[in-house]
Chain A
Amino acid sequence: MSLKQCHIGLSVSGHDPAIAIIDEKGEVAFAEATERFVQQKRAWGILPDHPEHIRSILPKYIDNNSEIFIAKTWLSSKRELPLNVSGGFMFEDNDIKWLLGLQSYSFNEAGNNIRHLYGDKVKKDECFDHHLTHAVNASYSAPFSNALCLVIDGEGEVGAASLYRLESRRLKRIWRSWGPGSLGSYYGLLTKLCGFDWRVGEEWKVMGLAAYGKFDISILDNLKKLVQVKNGKLFFPPSKEVLDLLVELRKSGREHNEDIMKASDLAFNGQLAYSYFLDQILKSIQLESDENLILTGGCALNSAYNGTIIKNHNFKNIHVPSAPADDGNAVGAALLSWMKYNQTNKIPSGDGSPYLGTDIRDNLTKKKRQAILKHHSFSRVESCIADSGYQVAQLLYQGKIIGIMRGRAEFGPRALGNRSILADPSRLNCKEYINSRVKGREDYRPFAPVVFEKDIKRFFDYNLPSPYMSYTLPWKEDFLKKIPGVVHHDNTGRLQTINKERNPWLSSVLNEFEALGKLPVLLNTSFNVMGKPIIHSVEDAMAVLTTTGLDGLLIDDLLIVK
């Protein structure tokens, strides 16, 4: 497995650090967010080449003959620019100083731990344009070679939006937005006004809460004034105007300790305004009706909006990568390093697999396996090599909630079956039970369904494959009452679509589940508890099992049932 040429991408934004490895063939050998290893959400201020994390990864890929090339996801430290051009009026100066400080630290220091470990094996240390790393990462996993590629995030080198054209797998920038206008900052502000914390990524909560709100023209009008879109580019109004708008908008918001539903109208109209801004950008960039669209950057995690693109725009195909936010840039930077070394501007084509992280088989040592088998106090612990899919389906059928830790971890924020909690969504109270007894989170928050790709049209109004849970779509009316566990308050679901080739094990569970007379739909939520990242080690999984209402756990082929 050792590589002669090892291109290591390091995401150096100061938040969401990640490490990625590209092999000699230009394929992703490994990619993982640092938050998984350190078990701190978003891993603020932690270097992407965390000393212990790299020691758990790199020896597998690097030997005495290896040459290492380090690639970073920014061209420069943002600290050199004046405060008001980064993040602008949407954050307090104090927040901006903090963000710039962390970016500067990570940008300057990342790579030192790899150099400390491998010395002169490190041949080069290069920096790449932030939005270009987003675009290359997304293009790598895109199932087509020609597309418009739109990057929308909190901020890039000079602004928060860039448009590229991918032609025969070569990217060319068409334009980029300059200045503080930013949809990422807009959504951060909305998160704050709704009484949530953007620092720990609670934008999800705004999206979930939006389903409970109602249309309010005065809130919407005020929100629409916060961002101006001109020819696809983003601008904020003068700061005095923003301050006046905030006074009005705060009346619809909530403080952290107030009733969550108090902010539901703000969340609903905030999501509407966000859609209004992005619709304007998409309308301005699409010149031909049969274009493919690659959407990436942190804003591409807004699955509620993404699901509306197919209805409101004329794109032929849409691709959102599994890790569109700054963790994914580690892949983009490493690919750019590989491309530079190989003197090509053609982006390699990946197989689209999101299963790029740590393999649990490396963590579940023989010793740990023996210890679990010997010292456990559970009702059932057994090795089920041949039929774990069948066994899990049986438990789900019985109404059990099962944690899954199999194979390689997903790269990106979604659990896609390898670090997931699964349940039967047809059970009436399963949503409330998992929210309160397993995840410890607010009861209004939705859960995602897993369906076969061939069944999308059966269950949903639009036929849009969603292998990475990138889109939220409306359920067909017939199913709303049949699977309440995965139907959100607005009758939508953020679906994961699977097929036998890409997801053989999860497909076997769904097949067995259907064979038991159930609808082929599973509830899939990330294997974590509120406030923590998705589990990383066997010990993390066992801790969730023993401290929550989870009924069982599959680690590799080891089935543990309470």
Chain B
Amino acid sequence: MNNLKENDIIEFVRLKIVERTDIDIDDITEESSLEEIGLGSLDVVLISGEIEDEFKVEVDPMMMFESKTLKEVASRVIASK
């Protein structure tokens, strides 16, 4: 259940990153570094809000800034449920 949810979250974040950058979706994996992807801080915040709405969790505003990879984001979202 947790794995499935983790994949859902990773997939959701990948799509949101693609919407905001020129990066090809195939180049974004669960191990991709958020820092290297080069998202702007505003994009990071807005994606955090979208995660909160989509998965009905309370997201810590610093979560995306503190997480190194998409996988780590997913783990923190699951932990906050």
CB pair A178 B52 closer than 8 Å: yes
B1 at the interface (CB under 8 A from A): no
A372 to B59, CA, bound (A): 59
A85 to B45, CA, bound (A): 7
CB pair A158 B41 closer than 8 Å: no
B46 at the interface (CB under 8 A from A): yes
CB pair A81 B49 closer than 8 Å: no
Contacts of B65 in A (CB 8 A): 81-82
CB pair B49 A180 closer than 8 Å: no
Contacts of A159 in B (CB 8 A): 49
Which of B50, B53, B61 touches A81 (beta carbons < 8 Å)?
B61
CB pair B42 A158 closer than 8 Å: no
Which of A76, A157, A175, A179 touches B42 (beta carbons < 8 Å)?
A179
Which of A80, A158, A175, A233 touches B45 (beta carbons < 8 Å)?
A158
Q: B41, B45, B62, B65 — which one has the most chain A CB atoms within 10 A of its CB? A: B45
Q: B49, B52, B62 — which one has the most chain A CB atoms within 10 A of its CB? A: B49
Q: Mark B43-79, 1 if CB is under 8 A from A, else 0.
A: 0011011101100000101100100000000000000
Chain A 151-181 interface residues, beta-carbon cutoff 8 Å to B? 157-159, 175-180
Minimum CB–CB distance for A469 against chain B, Å: 35
CB pair B62 A158 closer than 8 Å: no
Q: A157, A158, A175, A233 — which one has the most chain B CB atoms within 10 A of its CB? A: A158
Chain A 467-510 interface residues, beta-carbon cutoff 8 Å to B? none
A461 to B61, CA, bound (A): 45
A82 to B46, CA, bound (A): 13
Contacts of B45 in A (CB 8 A): 81, 85, 158, 178-179
A82 to B62, CA, bound (A): 10
A293 to B46, CA, bound (A): 27
Name A88's closest neighbour in chain B (CB-CB).
B42
CB pair A84 B48 closer than 8 Å: no
Minimum CB–CB distance for B60 against chain A, Å: 9
Contacts of A84 in B (CB 8 A): 41-42
Chain A 47-95 interface residues, beta-carbon cutoff 8 Å to B? 76, 80-82, 84-85
Minimum CB–CB distance for A537 against chain B, Å: 41
Name B53's closest neighbour in chain A (CB-CB).
A175
Contacts of B53 in A (CB 8 A): 175
Q: B46, B50, B53 — which one has the most chain A CB atoms within 10 A of its CB? A: B46
Minimum CB–CB distance for B38 against chain A, Å: 14
A85 to B42, CA, bound (A): 6
Which of B41, B50, B52 touches A85 (beta carbons < 8 Å)?
B41
A32 to B53, CA, bound (A): 36
A80 to B65, CA, bound (A): 10
A180 to B65, CA, bound (A): 16
Contacts of B62 in A (CB 8 A): 76, 80-81
A180 with B42, Cβ < 8 A, contacts A158-B48, A159-B49, A175-B53 known = yes
Name B41's closest neighbour in chain A (CB-CB).
A82
A81 to B60, CA, bound (A): 11
Minimum CB–CB distance for B75 against chain A, Å: 20
Q: Mark A334-351, 1 if CB is under 8 A from B, else 0.
A: 000000000000000000
Contacts of A158 in B (CB 8 A): 45, 48-49, 59, 61
Query: 6 A-B Cβ contacts within 8 A?
Result: A81-B62, A84-B41, A85-B41, A178-B52, A179-B49, A233-B49
Q: A76-B62, A178-B52 are in contact. List 15 more A-B contacts (CB 8 A).
A: A81-B41, A81-B65, A82-B42, A85-B42, A158-B49, A158-B59, A158-B61, A175-B53, A176-B49, A177-B49, A178-B49, A179-B42, A179-B46, A179-B49, A180-B42
Closest 10 CB pairs of A and B: A178-B49, A82-B41, A85-B45, A158-B61, A179-B45, A179-B46, A84-B42, A178-B45, A85-B42, A178-B46
